[in-house]
Amino acid sequence: MLATACAAPPEEPAAVGMVERYFAENNAAARSGPAAQQEFFRRTQHPDFTDLSCDLGDTAVELDPAMSTLRPDPGYAPDGVAPRGEVWVVGVEVTTRTAGTVTGHQIGSQHLVVLDGRLRGFAPCPNG
């Protein structure tokens, strides 16, 4: 008789579901328009970095994450300041739209932080 043991699959970190919801809410806000998205970014901005958010004007930002790339990133420190909380990074495809017209498209990464049971982000600011 051959006996085999089946190991339970590893438990998915709670951050995975939070990250999926973050991107779904971001994209719903982007579809609703720049004002709705600006409110989403204001509401979800990491509290230690509220001074780093910016007004995107008439631009909306859609973010399509590659969830298979989601991983912890404890060394992340924008401007040399490590955010409080559990830091994660995920690859994203970014599409910007102004007045419904695609104005930019690129691949990048997005950092997100689980802090006090909530997912926080860092609002995008175009370089310019």
Give the pLDDT confidence of 43-90 residue by residue, as tens digits. 999 999 887 777 888 999 999 999 999 999 999 998 898 999 999 999
- Give pLDDT, residue 6: 54
CA angle 11, 12, 15 (to 5 degrees): 140
Q: What's the whole-number mean pLDDT along residues 21-44?
A: 95
Order across the sheet with 101-115: list the strands.
59-72, 86-98, 101-115, 118-120
Domains annotated for the chain, with CATH where assigned, are 12-121 (3.10.450)
For 104, phi then psi, to 5°, come to -165, 155
Q: What's the whole-number mean pLDDT along residues 15-32?
A: 95
The tens digit of pLDDT for each residue in 79-112 reads 898 999 999 999 999 999 998 899 999 999 999 9
pTM for the model: 0.84
Q: Which residue's entry shows tokens 């310019």?
A: 128
pLDDT band at 14 (very low <50, low <70, confident <90, very high): confident
- The residue type of 122 is F
Q: What's the whole-number mean pLDDT along residues 25-30?
A: 96
Rg (CA), the chain: 17
**Burial bucket for residue 114 (CB in 10 Å: 0-12, 13-18, 19+):** middle
CA angle 64, 67, 71 (to 5 degrees): 125
Q: Which residue's entry shows tokens 């689980």?
A: 114
65 SS3 class? strand
